[in-house]
Amino acid sequence: MDHSEPTRVRWLLVLWISGMGAVSYLDRVNISIAGRSIERDFHLTNPELGAVFSAFAIGYALFQIPGGWMADRFGPRRILALGALWWTAFTAFTGSVPAGIGEALLVLWLVRFSLGVGESVMYPSSNRWLAAWIPRAERGAANGVIFAGVGAGAAFAPPLVAAVMARYGWRVSFQVCALAGVVSSVAWYWLARDAPRNHPWVSASERKFIEAGIADKGQSETSRLPWSVLFSSRDVWSITFSYFCYGYAAYIFFTWFFIYLTTVRGLNLKSGAFYTMLPFIAMSSCSALGGLLSDHVSKRWGRYAGRCGVAAGGLGGCTLFLAFGSIAHSAVTASLILAGGAGALYIAQSSYWALAADLGGASAGSLSGLINMGAQFGSAITATLTPVIAAHLGWTVSFLIAAALCALGAVAWLMVNPNRTLTANARVG
């Protein structure tokens, strides 16, 4: 390769991370499509299935900070590859639990918890990689592409899992998902490097462009921040609280939306799988759109407007869509409006991660893990609480509670100062 010619290796790796994210979401959403079959085979109740759903989110949440720390300490290339192999193994184990096993609920809970542990390294690792590879001006777009993989993986899950289930049963669908994880892990380790200077495909011009774009007066590429700095930042806690609200709303789509459409709205398996795709298609497209919009607005009007304003607007839009979608009479109309809410929510997605990379620098993995832990606790709560609320107060109330939390998450973004840099000694304005 001619190293005098400009290269765009960073964008090749962004696309591969997006693909790995798609696989990770395929591996976490497949259980919601297979949920009714799992209930039947293991004689579970709806709340017990909710506990199995929440097991993933609990494992995912608890290991966000350790996962981010490992990415900071050992490098995102190694940790993400190992994490993908780990979660692939437990995806396969989910489909291998015998129907007649004793304490089936506990076994399923532990398997899904372990899957969450493996997947916990996915986005803290990717954001640590991004902090070393992507200039600040491109981080919104890069995260938009990366999180478009979330919607893509979740969108492919319903038709893929439903098709395999119809022909071979739900267990085989998990083995198919696991195979995709093995391929993504091996390819990532072969393609990736922890820093541009270590990659043989990166030209001198691309390396200089990246280094100029990530330079910061208060941080270095290698020095990590003390935990006391991260835990004492008002901005960090505001973003973390907002992401908690975000996670609560988002996880309804990843766990209960298919079941809601088929059991509450009366759609059959085929129609339910089709309409369950719509929120995830909206997530994928709006994630990329939100990232581009965040970078564009930041360049023109500053990072408060571009990061905080765009994120607050997305959450505010989700509030309205969830409120109106939950009271729509037609199943099709409700599906379309609620899908709009998922899209609006994902307009805000890239801002969380772009700002974590900006603030964290060499500690972007740890900081991303802390912030994402907030989202995953929200996810764990909604996985368990949503069917309980629905059983006692109705599904409309479940969606209205999610809408109210989105409104609070939007307000939290307005309290963040995106121009503040975290340093070992002080916050630099």
Q: Are 127 and 353 in contact (CB under 8 A)?
A: yes
| Residue 177 counted as domain residue | yes
Cβ neighbours for 108, distance < 8 A, ≥ 6 positions apart: 38, 42, 52, 55, 94, 97
pLDDT, averaged per 10 consecutive residues of the chain (429 residues), comes to 73 95 86 86 86 86 92 95 96 89 90 95 94 92 89 78 86 91 95 95 94 67 75 93 96 85 84 85 91 94 95 97 92 92 95 89 87 88 86 92 97 93 56
| Residue 201 counted as domain residue | no
* C-alpha 370, offset from chain centre: 14
pLDDT of residue 223: 66
Q: Are 366 and 73 in contact (CB under 8 A)?
A: no
- We report the CATH number of the domain holding residue 340 as 1.20.1250.20
Give the angle 89-37-83 at the CA atoms, nearest 5°.
Answer: 15
Closest to 257 measured CA to CA, from 52, 398, 116: 398
| Residue 218 counted as domain residue | no
pLDDT tens-digit map of 267-326: 887 788 788 889 988 998 999 999 999 999 999 999 999 999 999 999 999 999 999 999
| Residue 202 counted as domain residue | no
Q: Is the dihedral of CA 89, 93, 94, 95 positive or negative?
A: positive
Residue recorded with tokens 């409120």: 323
| Residue 206 counted as domain residue | no
Cα 62 to Cα 375: distance, rounded to the nearest angstrom = 11
Structural domain total, the chain? 1
Range of the domain at 95: 9-195+224-428
DSSP code, position 223: P
Give the angle 168-110-161 at the CA atoms, nearest 5°.
Answer: 25
| Residue 217 counted as domain residue | no
| Residue 110 counted as domain residue | yes
Closest to 214 measured CA to CA, from 293, 135, 327, 299: 135
| Residue 34 counted as domain residue | yes
